[in-house]
Structure 1
Amino acid sequence: MTTRDKGEWRSSQPEFTLPAVTVGLLIGCLLCFTNLYFGLQTGWISMMSLQSALLGFLISKLLPTPLSPQELIVVQTTAVATGTMPLAAGFVGILPALGLLEEEKDGSPPIHLSWISAIGWSCSVAFFGVFLSPPLRKQVIIEEELAFPSGTATAQLISVLYKQPPPNPSLRRRAGYRALDTEDPLESTGDQSGEIDRDTQEIATRIETPDECEVIQQEGWQDLAYSFLASGVMTLAAFFFPIVFAVPLFGRYLAREWLWSFTPSLSYVGQGIIMGFPTTLSMNLGMLVGWGLLSPLSKWAAWAPGPVGDMATGARGWILWVSLAIMCADSLVSLLPVCQSYIVKLLSSYRTLKHTDDPIQEAGAEDETPERLVPPSWVVSGLVSSILLGTLLVWLVFGEEGIKTWATLVGFLLGGLLSVLGVRALGETDLNPVSGLGKISQLFFAWIQPGNVVANIIAGGVAEAGAQQAGDLMQDLKTGHLLHASPRAQFYGQLIGSFLSIIVSATAFNLYQRAYTIPGPSFPAPTAYVWLNLARLLRDGQLPARSGLFMLVFALLFAVNAGIKVMAIRRGHPYAKWIPSGVAFAIGFLNTPSFSIARLIGGLVEYWYHRRKGSTGGRDIRLIVIASGFVLGEGVVSVLTLILRTLGIGVISCWGCSGGICPGCPA
């Protein structure tokens, strides 16, 4: 099946195959529904690249001809492209934010896109970042050899599953690979517009022998089936009896008046396992500060006199501003070292070209043949076409009153520049700060098109989409580079996955809008308020009472915290993972305590499991398979509950609710 080339292995079979694409689309559609469901609930989505590889490997065993390792990389690339579209196209943030517009405050009535308009908007932003990736690959993967820890870990895992020689371990001694070399690897947190993602790169480094992949082949399906079934049954029970997911653990008064309840969702537990204990701990510290201290303080001081859960006049809306300050400060400070290294790299390249007699000499040589690469002509024509088509589609969907045509073009150009920063940040730290990049675009557009809230939000969405898709594909291209998969095959998979996901995401979002109020009690879409509130602040500069002081204090605090964390990670200090993550801390503010507590349970399970059971590869893989089953179980069954609600089938009994404890129930 493979041939050896310069000490490494390479597939001798076709890589872009119908089975690989089909399996990738199947997994990706499951992830798409799951990410849309959880994104609208909590603002959290996951790239799930490592989990996609695991699921693809399991499904591969059921096929007449098992997939090759390179085909599995195409599976993973296609699945990730399909699964992350709810974020890239703004279904969990941008579109709900536009639906919250008020003509008196924002100069525009609420904008609710029809199905065809949602398709048009998605097409406008879905492909720009994909065409940015091939030229960036040559720079950041071939020449600079940036780490991309999650992509490297996935490559290590795939090589073990197929009992093949692992990627060249000498690369791990380069700067940026310390997290893969330490005995207690640092956690990987991905900023998904405030959403936390941890691809658990340490799993691959803990695999001691290739024989441990037998754990997956023999017990993986059983683990996945049981965890999927348990989570699905619990989700269905909560649909008919809402109290199942709204347990008044701290008493009915706190649950009803202060939103302190508990959601024993196995999917949240699974998310906590994937995130890891340090990240869930940061999230719950934010929950305690936001909901345990600042929320009561703002209520009792009459800074937020409305009901606690009201986003306009209540404590939840008040602490949202503090959360916004934390996320912006953390993201911007985390980008500074990336900007510095990029400038140093450019200056170094300039000096080299100026003083060398051989300016064509490169730091890294391309190891793929031209027929396996994406031709430059495709890149140029694709970028030009995606920008022009995107500008036209934005104009058709939102009109000249929404955003000027020239401003949309500027938004794409700015999005391209910011995508470079996002890709470099991802390569060096495993963090793609798309929320921070989107906010930078909002700040810029507050200057060039002042007073236009709609344009401000759209411009932020364009920048976020470009950075998100370029980063996702670059992480996958790193995996492919280490295992000699065809970049062109991965490029095809990304395009196909993105195209199908446009239809799937738009259709699912349209169904959710028909069945539920979005944002609403069941799907609060917390990141929508982050986008809208920043746009409003940049328009009129008005803040809720006393919130400005707290925003400044927490922004300064977490700017310093982010700086310390970045330096600790770069130096490979083992305590770096215990320094609170600013984005995770802010997520604790965005979501009610019920969401954070369940994830902390998952983080504790992960911590306890490794402490008591040991950290060998097979056991770690089993744990991540079980966690994936928990997450997918609720995500898939949510499609069934959506259909039931659309057909008019709903709650059987509100027993135990006792007046407004359960989301969506009348008080």
Structure 2
Amino acid sequence: MPLPSWLRRLFDGRSLSGSSASPEFTPRAVILGLLIGCLLCFTNLYFGLQTGWISMMSLQSALIGFLLSRLLGTPITPQENVVLQTTAVATGTMPLAAGFVGIIPALSLLEPEKDGSGPVTLSWLSAIGWSCAVAYFGVFMSPPIRKQVIIEEQLAFPSGTATAQLIGVLHKMPPPQLSVRQRRGYSALTAEDGGDIPHTPGFDEADHVEAEVREVVQTEGWSALTLSFLGSSILTLLAYFFPVMFAIPLFGTYLARQWLWSFTPSLSYVGQGIIMGFPTTLSMNLGMLVGWGVLSPLSKHYGWAPGPVGDMTSGARGWILWTALAIMSSDSFVALVPVAREYLEKLLRRSSSSGALGSDVDGLDDDKEVETEERLVSLKWVLWGLGSSVALGIVIVWLVFGKEGIKPWATFIGFAMGGLLSILGVRALGETDLNPVSGLGKISQLLFALIQPGNVVANIIAGGVAEAGAQQAGDLMQDLKTGHLMQASPRAQFYGQLLGSTLSVPITVTAYVLYSRAYPIPGPTFPAPTAYVWLSLARLLRNGQLPDYSATFMLASAVLFAVISSLKTSATRRQLWYAKYIPSGVAFAIGFLNTPSFSLARLIGGVVEYFYHRRMADKGGRDDIRLIVIASGFVLGEGVMSIACLVLRTFGIGVASCWGCSHGMCGGCSA
């Protein structure tokens, strides 16, 4: 069926920014990006509240955007695809940037006797204000950071580079020139031994590879995406009415009921495992085995955690949380050490060189910029944007939390800390593909324990401000790396980031309010594990009390993972093949925070990814691309169906049967 004329005009590729030559910021790119981003926003909020883990989905957004554009008559250009996925990522990652998977639930858990303040629950309007306070700081920081890490230092940003590779193949462009080997997740241009295939005239195999990949996407893309989406959606709906389907007592009802060892056969978790890759899911499951198979029964047996296993205050789940916190902090801090050292050394060298050479050095720096001035974000915009976002953010935070919260001058320090920590986080992301935002937030919490001692609310808010800047700047920098390799306009991407962040504020807040009205947060369905991490550290910094013997295990695990992280960081920076198999401290700790059911399903996805990638995938990577499409459908299927389940619960339509469920095993039956 042909599209209506008004719809064809909307999607005809005209530029919204007034540029007629090679339009990039077009209605169709922006609208498709916002639509995909809204789906990602709901999906990331849903899974973030369940497991504390969200995904940028930049590569998947580019792939889905390409498929959708084929329905519009005139396919989008590669540069439009860059803007599309940039807009989608900015829209989809707001649940983490604004703290709705950790900060906001943590504030709702406050207790007067422990924290000096009662629960802080934000209204819809207050949540909108808080989100606006932190939504734009990272966006305006991106252009100046781009100049340093992408243009000057040419850091890898593996996920952004992988997305550029895929866009190049889909749109029949030569692959971007890369100076470093890239990461897992996209191997269509990679030989079986892992070496890069040079794209040179007459190299028929590379041309054949690209043609096969495009054929897979164009002929099988929609069917694979639709079938995987429907399969995941139907399974999610069935699990809503029959909750035991997502709480299978894999090792018997006793272990499931008393020790929380159940299995959730969620296709979305399998899809997340495929996207994460085998090394990450392996680290997560190693942590799950140590946390839930060793430390949990140990703490219960010796009486260190006498309460029910799942209790976050007196039970084993709350006890092992402290070990997870030590591992995450140690891993993040160690990974940042070489980044900080190199950055300071470069600043010192630049300072001494500038004194000796004067303006010649600046001239050399400017020569490295490949974009013309009209395609860049002007310095005036950056300065005005940073100034206004910080000023308005300080005022809004004061209005939202009042005098009992964080002081205005302290909020300013929080933004300043966020700016400094963002630089470290972006550099770590550019080199390792891991943005240590959890560790960066903890640094800010430690500082504010000195600035506003005893104020738990201020401590959590300050950490949230710093984490928001670091997380947002890092995610957007991956997109700018993609745009740089695809010769897309940084200004067009900047527009997309602003629009995506703006729309995501009401979408995220409304979704969170609806979820919180239908389900207890934290609760059986949405445990919000990272909320307890934030709150536990803030309480520790206030009163210094730890559960019995947890300090010993925290110290031992911190030292152990400091060594492991040092080895992993060194191997990664030297681009050694085994670096990805050295356990990731953050992923290992996530295995502690989540019950085994979440980790086991992701391991299945990781094994599937490994099996396809190493055993079944042909030279051209046809199965790699097909697997990415299927994984995307799995994740989006449950995320979208969760909206329908939310509507059902809001209207009082509950489960059909609690058969097989014991108290505490099934979220739908124990709420």
TM-score over 0.5 (shorter chain): yes
Q: Name 2:114's counterpart in structure 1.
A: 105
Residues 360-407 of structure 1: CA distance to partner in whole angstroms, max 9, x if unpaired? 332452111111111111100000000000001000100121011110
1:182–1:445: structure 2 CA closer, same or farther, 3 Å change rule?
A: farther
Shift of 1:181: 8.1
1:635 matches 2:639: yes
CA contact (8 A) 1:15 1:486 kept: yes
Give the 3-state SS of the residue equivalent to 1:514 in structure 2. Answer: helix
2:262 counterpart residue number? 261
Contact kept? 2:161, 2:182, Cα under 8 Å = no
Alignment partners' CA distance in 2, 1:353 and 1:307? 63
Other-structure match for 1:21: 30
Is 1:606 equivalent to 2:609 in the alignment?
yes
In 1, Cα distance between the equivalents of 2:421 and 2:537? 19
Cα distance, 1:211 vs structure 2: 4.0
Q: How big is the shift at 1:174?
A: 11
Q: In structure 2, the residue corresponding to 1:312 is in which secondary structure?
A: coil
- The answer on 1:55 being equivalent to 2:64 is yes
Q: Which digits, 9 at most, give the CA deviation of each residue in 1:558-602, with x for residues without a partner?
A: 010000000011112111111111111101000000000011111
Q: Mark the CA change 1:168 to 1:666 in structure 2 (over 3 Å): closer, same or farther.
A: closer
Q: Which amino acid aligns with 1:361?
A: G
Give me the whole-angstrom Cα distance separating, in 2, the residues matched to 1:355 and 1:596.
Answer: 56
Return closer, same or farther for 1:341/1:44 CA change in 2, 3 Å cut-off: same
Q: Distance in 2 between matches of 1:233 and 1:634?
A: 8
Residue by residue over 1:30-89, the C-alpha shift from the partner in whole angstroms, topping out at 9 and shown as x without a partner, is 000000000000111001111111111111111122111100001000000000000000
**CA distance in 2: counterparts of 1:183 and 1:452, whole angstroms:** 56
Q: Distance in 1 between matches of 2:342 and 2:501?
A: 31
Q: Which of 635, 646, 649 is residue 645 of structure 1 equivalent to? A: 649
What is the alpha-carbon distance in structure 1 between the residues aligned to residue 550 and residue 182 of structure 2? 44
User: Offset of 1:614 from its aligned partner?
Assistant: 2.3
Partner deviation per Cα, 1:618-657 (whole Å, 9 max, x = no partner): 2101001101100000000000000100000010100111
Deviation digits for residues 182-241 of structure 1, max 9, x if unmatched? 96669xxxxxxxxxxxxxxxxxx9993344211101000000000000000000000000
Native 8 Å contact 1:333 1:559 kept in 2: yes
Q: 1:208 to 1:341 in 2, by over 3 A?
A: farther
Deviations 1:424-458 (A, max 9, x none): 11112111111111110000101111110000000
Q: Report the counterpart of residue 201 of structure 2 in structure 1.
A: none
Aligned partners of 1:143 and 1:362 also within 8 Å: no
Distance 1:174 1:611 in 2: 16
Who is 1:322 aligned against? 323
What is the Cα deviation at residue 487 of structure 1? Answer: 0.6
Instruction: Could you tell me which runs of 5 or more consecutive residues in structure 2 were left unpaired when the two chains were aligned.
Output: 1-18, 196-205
- Structure 1: distance between partners of 2:397 and 2:437: 21
Equivalent position of 2:180 in the other structure: 172
68, 75, 92: which one aligns with 1:83: 92
CA distance in structure 2 between the aligned counterparts of 1:457 and 1:660, rounded to whole angstroms: 29
Distance change >3 Å, CA 601–CA 359, structure 1 → 2: closer
Task: Show the counterpart of 1:456.
Answer: 459
Tell me the residue number matched to 2:469. Answer: 466
**Corresponding residue of 1:331:** 332
1:387 to 378, 382, 390: 390
The alignment's C-alpha RMSD in Å is 1.9
Alpha-carbon distance, 1:469 to partner: 1.1
Measured in 1, the distance between the counterparts of 2:267 and 2:261 equals 19
Secondary structure at 1:61 match in 2: helix
Tell me which residue corresponds to 2:308: 307
The residue type equivalent to 1:308 in the other structure is V
Q: Distance in 1 between matches of 2:527 and 2:193?
A: 37
The CA deviation at 1:298 is 0.5
CA displacement at 1:659 relative to structure 2: 4.1
Counterpart in 2 of 1:352?
Answer: 353
Alpha carbons of structure 1 residues 305 and 185: separation in structure 2 relative to 1, 3 Å = farther
The residue correspondences of 1:251-650 to structure 2 (distance < 5 A) are: 251-356=252-357, 358-363=360-365, 364-615=367-618, 616-650=620-654
Q: Which amino acid aligns with 2:180?
A: R
Paired residues for 1:91-240 under 5 Å:
91-169=100-178, 171-172=179-180, 208-240=209-241
Instruction: Please give the secondary structure, in 2, of the residue aligned with 1:401.
Output: coil
Between the aligned partners of 2:27 and 2:228, the Cα distance in structure 1 is 29
**Residue identity in the other structure for 1:297:** L
Q: Distance in 2 between matches of 1:362 and 1:548?
A: 52
Report the Cα distance in structure 2 between the residues aligned to 1:144 and 1:285, rounded to whole angstroms: 35
- SS where residue 109 of structure 1 aligns? coil
Q: Deviations over 1:132-155 (max 9, x none)?
A: 011111111111111111111111
Contact 2:568–2:582 at 8 Å: present in 1 too? yes
CA contact (8 A) 2:524 2:670 kept: no
- Distance, in Å, in 1 between the alignment partners of 2:435 and 2:208 is 26
Task: Pick which of 285-294 and 150-159 moved more.
Answer: 150-159
| CA 435–184 in structure 1, closer or farther in 2 if over 3 Å, else same | farther
Query: Which one-letter code corresponds to 2:353 in the other structure?
Result: T
* SS, match of residue 360 in structure 1: helix
Q: Say if 1:206 and 1:585 are closer, same or farther in 2 by CA, change over 3 A.
A: farther
Task: Determine helix, strand or coil for the equivalent of 2:362.
Answer: coil
In the alignment, the residues of structure 1 paired with residue 483 and residue 503 of structure 2 have an alpha-carbon distance, to the nearest angstrom, of 22
* Separation in structure 2 between the aligned mates of residue 256 and residue 206 of structure 1, nearest angstrom: 55
Q: State the TM-score, normalized to the length of structure 1.
A: 0.93
Q: Which residue of 1 aligns with 2:16?
A: none
CA distance in 2, matches of 1:646, 1:173: 49
Comparing 156-165 and 389-398, the one that deviates more: 156-165
Q: Contact 2:524–2:664 at 8 Å: present in 1 too? A: no
Q: Which amino acid aligns with 1:26?
A: L
User: Equivalents in 2 of 1:646, 1:589: separation in Å?
Assistant: 32
2:655·2:668 contact (CA, 8 Å) conserved in 1? no
In the other structure, the counterpart of 1:30 is 39
Q: Kindly, what percent of the aligned residue pairs are identical?
A: 72
Q: Residues 476 and 603 (structure 1 numbering): CA distance in 2 closer, same or farther, change over 3 Å?
A: same
- Which 5+ residue runs of structure 1 have no aligned equivalent? 1-9, 187-204
Secondary structure at the counterpart of residue 302 of structure 1: coil
Counterpart amino acid of residue 159 in structure 1: G
The 2-side partners of 1:618 and 1:666 are apart by: 44
Q: Is the 8 A contact 2:162 2:182 kept in 1?
A: no
TM-score (norm 2): 0.92
Which letter maps to 2:634?
F
| C-alpha spacing 1:157/1:666, structure 2 compared with 1 (3 Å) | closer
User: Once the 2 structures are TM-superposed, how far is the Cα of residue 665 of structure 1 from its aligned partner?
Assistant: 2.4
Deviations 1:89-147 (A, max 9, x none): 00000000000000110011001101011000000000001000111111111111111
Query: Which aligned pairs between 1:242-257 and structure 2 lie closer than 5 A?
Result: 242-257=243-258
The one-letter code sitting in structure 2 at the alignment partner of 1:640 is: A
Q: Please state whether the residue corresponding to 2:655 is helix, strand or coil.
A: coil
> What one-letter code is carried by the residue in structure 2 that aligns with 1:140?
V
Give the distance between the partners of 2:662 and 2:208, measured in 1 at CA.
50
